Amino acid sequence: MVAMSRVTCDLTISLDGFVAGPNQSPEEPLGSGGEDLHRWMFEEPERNAAAIEGILDAGAYIMGRNMFAGPGEWAADWRGWWGEEPPYHAPVFVLTHQSREPVVMEGGTTFHFVTDGIESALDQARSAAGTRDVAIAGGAETARQYLTAGLMDELRLHIAPITLGGGARLLDGVGNLALEPTEVSGTGLVTHVRYRMAR
């Protein structure tokens, strides 16, 4: 019997529950103060190597259209925020209402655009990932949809010791979640908490 891939989600979050700050825009896709959430990745990469490796270890990814392109219409030639070689190195399925042909990037990343919902995106991602994990890459709205639908197996929160006061909050409206913490680690810039989703 072939093992089915797990569905995981890694998100960096502020102490007051936001994964992006207020006033998100094309110039500031993470909103006011949102860049500070991710200092741990860039200022302490060696000390957080296991968490970073876990984020990038999936066989396929799912993200929302705002994570790919920000709010509003995207330009016909838009290829994401990450340059010609995005960090994923795997198929990425983008939830959107805007049809588009797949975008092939360097390093093994191909963006596929899914217009028929979260379950279709998950089916396609599972098919692409094989036995490897499928990762919900974000943003907050996309993660909330998978949490609410009970389609996530593991939630990994990377908690930055800052408050943002507004923006995209992760857990608004998800209802009762039964989360079992299975691992805690961290540094001065982040606390990593791994949760198993109880069924």
Q: Is 41 within the bounds of a domain?
A: yes
Q: Is 77 within the bounds of a domain?
A: no
pLDDT digits (tens, 9 = 90+) for 26-62: 888 899 999 999 999 999 999 999 999 999 999 999 9
Which of 162, 142, 160 lies closest to 152, judged by CA? 142
Query: Counting Cβ atoms within 10 Å, is residue 151 exposed (0-12), middle (13-18) or buried (19+)?
Result: middle
What is the C-alpha separation between 86 and 72, in angstroms, rounded? 22
Share of the chain above pLDDT 90, in %: 81
The dihedral sign for the CA sequence 76, 38, 52, 85: positive
Answer whether 83's CB lies under 8 Å from 68's CB. Answer: no
The dihedral sign for the CA sequence 62, 16, 28, 107: negative
pTM for this one? 0.94
Task: Report which residue type is found at 153.
Answer: D
What is the C-alpha separation between 98 and 78, in angstroms, rounded? 13
Task: Report which residue type is found at 77.
Answer: D
User: Does position 127 have pLDDT exceeding 60, yes or no?
Assistant: yes
Residue 176 sits at the vertex; the CA angle it makes with 19 and 71, to the nearest 5 degrees, is: 30
What is the DSSP track for 14-60?
Answer: ETTSEEE-SS--SS-TT-TTGGGGGHHHHHSTTTTHHHHHHHT--SE
Q: Is 79 within the bounds of a domain?
A: no
pLDDT of residue 199: 64
Q: Is 165 within the bounds of a domain?
A: yes
pLDDT of residue 1: 45
Q: Is 34 within the bounds of a domain?
A: yes
pLDDT of residue 25: 83
Number of structural domains found in the chain: 1
Q: Is 2 within the bounds of a domain?
A: no
Answer whether 20's CB lies under 8 Å from 31's CB. Answer: yes
pLDDT of residue 29: 86
Q: Is 190 within the bounds of a domain?
A: yes
Answer whether 169's CB lies under 8 Å from 34's CB. Answer: no
What is the C-alpha separation between 147 and 174, in angstroms, rounded? 7
Q: Is 78 within the bounds of a domain?
A: no
pLDDT of residue 159: 98
pLDDT of residue 3: 59
Distances (CA, A) of 89 to 30, 59, 118, 152, 158: 22, 9, 21, 22, 22
CATH number at residue 119: 3.40.430.10
Domain that holds residue 90: 7-18+30-70+84-197
